[in-house]
Amino acid sequence: MWKRALDRAGVREPRLRRDYAKQRRAARRYRTAEYAAARLLLPASLLPHVVTAVAFMHDTDERIDRGTPDERVAALAEWDGLVRKAFAEGDSGLPVLRCLVRTSERHPDVRAHVEEFLRGCEREVAWRTIADDEELERYVREYCLPALMLTACLFAPGDGEARTAFTDGCHRLIRAMQRIDFLEDLPEDVRAGRVGVPADAVARHGADLTRPGAALGRLVEEQADRAAADLAAVSLADVVAPSYRPFVRALVGVQHLRLDAMRRAGASLATRTSGPPAPAAALLLLRETAARARRAPGAGPRRLSGK
């Protein structure tokens, strides 16, 4: 399937095929459930470009997420220079940037979203705490949404009104995902001294983020409710082309699974991470894969065996 995807994506040069394979492995490690959804549910011609966008986003995050604030700023400046050089020269010594350049040639919208994402990284390297929901909204709008749009732009509708609705849906989706991320990663973020759960909410509940307790449980439930409200308002499948709908439904469905797991974990998130249960995620993907197969061109009604 992967070789066919590369063929359909127009990636035929041996070196680039190896480069794209590296991005595929990186994307699979970073978001296992979401990668499985893309592999099973997206058109083959789009898959290499989606995994490249995800791998680029993750590579960027890894480069700017370590060290002191000054070191992070310096890392971003260096990375920004490498990305711009790759686009200017049409090549790079880094596989992820070689793939990004090719993907941008095939899908020109990607280039503009790369620019916006890199500008948003300035907020990512600068923040130490999130004061309240207003600051969380700025963080989502300036950094998280551009990060999501690196991939989402690949299947965004072309019509202006539909595209506006699509971007709004992506905004709500990523805001929910970021709330979930901040709680799923709570122990790691506490150790790093960069907690993304809004500080006013922590104070309001009197929660101790380092140990389980009733106050932390109430905080988790409140943040879960706010994420759930955003997920309930997401209607992306209504505005994308039919061939992308199974993937979009699966992507949103995985976030519901993450949210449910977070609720079950509750105050124990102080000491452990959570994530979507593998059996439930697999069942979701199987259901959408079957729905996609039924809607495929030439797929006729199934005959009953009579057994």
pLDDT exceeds cutoff 60 at 87: yes
CB 292 within 8 A of CB 41: yes
Q: How far apart are CA 296 and CA 158, in angstroms?
A: 22
The total of other beta-carbon atoms located within 10 Å of residue 294's CB is: 11
CB 154 within 8 A of CB 53: yes
C-alpha closest to that of 168 among 250, 238, 253: 238
pLDDT band at 303 (very low <50, low <70, confident <90, very high): very low
118-127, 131-140, 147-156, 294-303: which range is least confident on average?
Answer: 294-303
C-alpha closest to that of 223 among 95, 306, 103, 132: 132
* Average pLDDT of the residues in 260-273: 96
Q: How far apart are CA 298 and CA 206, in angstroms?
A: 59
Q: How far apart are CA 265 and CA 269, in angstroms?
A: 6
pLDDT exceeds cutoff 60 at 15: yes
Which of helix, strand or coil describes residue 66? Answer: coil
Cβ-count burial of 220 within 10 angstroms (0-12 exposed, 13-18 middle, 19+ buried)? buried
- The domains found in the chain, sorted by start residue, are 1-126 (1.10.600.10), 128-294 (1.10.600.10)
Over residues 137-166, the pLDDT tens digits come to: 999 999 999 999 999 999 999 888 999 999
CB 225 within 8 A of CB 142: no
The reported pTM is 0.90
C-alpha closest to that of 242 among 2, 41, 107: 41
Q: How far apart are CA 27 and CA 211, in angstroms?
A: 32
pLDDT exceeds cutoff 60 at 301: no
Beta strands in 176-281 (DSSP E): none
